Amino acid sequence: MTDSSGTPPNPLLVSRNYFTFAQPPNEMILDCGYRLGPITLAYETLGELNAEGSNAILILHAFSGDSHVAGYLHENDDRPGWWDNMVGPGKPVDTNQYFVICSNILGGCSGSTGPSSINPETGRPYGLGFPMVTIKDMVRAQKHLIDHLGINKLMSLIGGSVGGMQVLRWCADYPEMIASAIPLATTTRHSAQAIAFNEVARQAIMADPNWNNGDYYSGPGPVHGLAVARMIGHVTYLSDEAMRDKFGRRLHRSSLSFDFTGDFQVESYLHHQGKKFVTRFDANSLLYITKAADYFDLERGNGSLLINETLADVSFLVISFSSDWLYPTYQSKDIVSSLKKNGSDVSFCEIEAQWGHDAFLLPNKRLNGLISGFLDRVYHEHCL
């Protein structure tokens, strides 16, 4: 169904929009106390908001995602959005029926305010002058966008991984604005293991001399450090089984090289992922976002922040993947356990899949069926 350029004949075209708010002196106050403003969020929308404003779905992207969730940005665009198999007309998140919003997170590097943005006070990129942002800050900024779009209640929130953390943060902070939520392959708090991998990724960037304490925007930047950071990430997104299946010990050349240029297919896969990543992602954004994910903790203090009476009226679909060792099933079950205490309507499914954490982004019939069936019910219960 695609022509030679890879774009389907009648591509679904979407455009990127920008919303700027928190103009001084009304800056947004962050968890760390910093007054940040102005803030710009890049966002894209698909479908139409109905007259009652009741069919809006907010999709929250994972750590390296962006606002381009589905469709094509222009006629000759050869790559659709990152969740094009899930979102679009006639797809599980059916844009013929729902109004879909996706925004780039605060601290990101795809159009929203982040460390690579120009600091209005200095006229130069923020770099490490950018304040530490948290998942709560990201969600607070999204709330401004949702208010701006005139939506009082979101029909659903969907997000995997760090996107799932944002879903849960929304539930903890603005439960009255939510009819339903789908946290996928996520957790209420990083395990020591997840923090450990993030720290190695950060150290890889900071050890690159071109990082220059975050002040590299006029130079080449820490491309090697960033590539290594991405390679580490990809190891955590796969699984032992997936790697065995995908690469085994196969070589990507005919014989061993007896040098360090890389012999195995798994090595060239990681090199490729690293190289591809540095062309589209900012190293400082990786530092900030991984830190925000590490700081995220809904269990801190007096019990889970998901135990909240207001959430009794929210329907949940929690999904984990059997081979995900970054956010294992037991972490999703902890989410379910807290939500049950509210009397919330909560469904849970652990999908048998060999692809590790990556599974939530890959085409998967079961995932499609679960999400479309759940959304259909929520639509009929809340929107009609």
Partner 1 sequence: MNTVFNQDLGTMRFDLQVIASWIDPGSRVLDLGCGNGDLLDYLKKHKQVNGTGIEYSEDKAARCIERGLTVLQGDFRKEVLDYPENRFDVIILSQTLQQVHDPKELLVDLLRIGKRVIVSFPNFAHWSARLQILFTGMAPVTDQLPYEWYNTPNIRVISIKDFKRFLRITGIRVVREVAINTHHHDYKGHIVRSLTNLRATYGIMMLERVS
Cβ closer to partner 1: 17 or 372? 372
Question: Is residue 376 close enough to count as binding partner 1 by CB under 8 A?
Answer: yes
Nearer to partner 1, 120 or 369 (CB): 369
Q: Are 133 and 107 in contact (CB under 8 A)?
A: yes
Q: Which residue has the tokens 């205490």?
A: 341
Contact with partner 1 (CB under 8 A) among 24, 129, 303, 373: 373
Question: Any catalytic annotation for residue 324?
Answer: yes
Smallest distance, partner 1 to C-beta of residue 229, A:
34
Nearer to partner 1, 16 or 333 (CB): 333
List 126, 197, 327, 374, residue binding partner 1 (CB under 8 A): 374
Helix (H) or strand (E) holding 17: strand 17-21
**Beta pairing partners, 125:** 118
β-strand partners of 44? 102
At its nearest, how many Å lie between partner 1 and the CB of residue 372? 8
Structure tokens at 264: 């195995």
Provide, rounded to whole angstroms, the least separation between the CB of residue 41 and partner 1.
32
| 138 to 3, 189, 233, 288: CA distances (angstroms) | 38, 16, 22, 12
- The β-bridge partners of 354 are none
Per annotation, catalytic residue among 68, 190, 234, 357: 357
Would you state the torsion angle of the CA atoms of residues 378, 142, 64, 198, taken in this order, to the nearest 10 degrees? -100
Q: Please pick, from the candidates 8, 120, 129, 369, the single residue that binds partner 1 as defined by CB under 8 A.
A: 369
Q: Is residue 14 a contact residue for partner 1 (CB under 8 A)?
A: no
What 3-state class would DSSP assign to 215? Answer: coil
CB 324 within 8 A of CB 359: yes
Scan residues 49-108 and list those touching partner 1 (CB under 8 A).
Answer: none
Q: Which of 180, 150, 224, 188 is nearest to 327 (CA)?
A: 188
Q: What is the secondary structure of 133-151 as a DSSP string?
A: --HHHHHHHHHHHHHHTT-
CB closer to partner 1 out of 238 and 317: 317
Judged by CB under 8 A, the number of residues near partner 1 is 25
- Catalytic-labelled residue, pool 84, 282, 324, 334: 324
User: Site residues for partner 1, window 309-368 (CB under 8 A)?
Assistant: 315, 317, 333, 336-337, 340-341, 343, 345-352, 366
Q: Specify the residue, 250 or 340, whose C-beta has the smaller distance to partner 1.
A: 340
Nearest to 108, CA basis, from 88, 123, 92, 126: 126
Calpha distance 114→106 (Å, rounded)? 6
The CA distance from 198 to 211, in Å, is: 17
| In the complex, least distance from residue 60 CB atom to partner 1, rounded to whole angstroms | 21
Residue with Cβ nearer partner 1 (41 or 168): 168
The span from the CA of 289 to the CA of 159, in Å, is: 16
Question: Which residue's CB is nearer to partner 1, number 63 or number 355?
Answer: 355
Q: Which residues pair with 40 in a beta bridge?
A: 20
* Cα Rg of the chain (Å, integer): 21
Among 50, 212, 265, 372, binds partner 1 (CB under 8 A): 372
Distance CA 301, CA 312 (A): 21
| Residue of 246, 252, 377, 382 interacting with partner 1 (CB under 8 A) | 377
At which residue do the structure tokens 């590299």 appear?
216
**Among the options 161, 180, 285, 344, which is catalytic?**
161
Q: How far is the CB of 301 from partner 1 (least distance, A)?
A: 20
Taking the complex as a whole, the smallest distance from the CB of residue 164 to partner 1 amounts, in Å, to 17
Is residue 206 involved in binding partner 1 (CB under 8 A)? Answer: no
Site string for partner 1, 230-249 (x = CB under 8 A): --------------------
Residues in contact with partner 1 by the rule CB under 8 A:
315, 317, 333, 336-337, 340-341, 343, 345-352, 366, 369-370, 372-374, 376-377, 380
Q: List active site positions.
A: 161, 324, 357
